Chain A
């Protein structure tokens, strides 16, 4: 029986940035897929192009080579909705109006917008702040609004760019649980970028490990930790083993990236 087409298909995608006289290769022939309903995590050192990949998927950035395909099964739904790393909320709109921004742009009626906003704000725990303005919220709260906005948009694929990175550890843990619950309930396809390997193992079905710049697919790891998954999985031996294995590989890439940043040792230059 033929396998259904992947929900997200990335085929030999490269991205080169041109600035003044230099061109930087950010992504080098990335190929990966995400199946419908899958939670795909992308990890890698700083500069590996994780965010760049996400922006290509979101259509915010044009790739220099290769193709991207997202299967649209629900007419009327946008292909993607992204949760940005720096919230990117509209400062002149209340929390509620920020959440329904995408819906408003698509012409969704007021009653439905309000219902959806109520639902999403409840999901991220911000019901009390619906009429507040972004500048009145903490960083973590703003991030939660961003998540609510993406969810409210009801996209084919949910893109998340380190959405929990700015939260304190306690809130982050709670939100991770929430995300697992929400995802189990909605069944969305998610592409999730994170720095934290622990988080990727907790949330993901598969982990894509990118190399240091230029970003290539170093390895793709299946995460067989069972579903439904809760925080208790962190105590399981399978989790520990996977963490060690992937970290060994990731560590190499991180060290390589840091060496890049440091540049040639000035004291060694003239030996």
Chain B
């Protein structure tokens, strides 16, 4: 089916049924894609975006999982922090960008932190959910078989929450990518998002679509890859969502 659509697009473009300037043929896009990758600039942009993503994710994942776990175990902490999480979670994190630009100046830290913020809240919420919705009987079994305190945590609570944590990480990564690309589109001077913007302004559409496709491929690979990893590592989990 996707092949059929691409073929349709190819034909429509070549026959000028749609404006070939706005909708260049897939083959043209493909050629440009290969070209630019070989020339290195597309690859460089990809690396920049990936680097930001990696950093943003690391910044979000570690504190996020930690906070989620702590909130799950310690009720007073949860009561204190939950309102902030609940308040900021539905806010588009892109709205944080101007603030970060003022405080940190226009540059990498502001970009990366916006992406990290996007992932952070999702990760906290998913992790917290994982701890809170675990089967309470598992805790009883743990106590009964001599696991208390730290051992209970490592041997029972953490593994039980792992599926939810993993899902949170996966969703968080996706959100970070979306936020980062948006930030690049709006404010950065490098990265795939920026490339799409620049080529859009210059109307060099084949390059624009090439960068666009690369972003899509990246997103697809990451989500699919993480999902496969999750299935592999957490093979005891029957339900996946």
A contacts B: CB pair < 8 Å: no
Binding site for A on B (CB under 8 A): none
Binding site for B on A (CB under 8 A): none
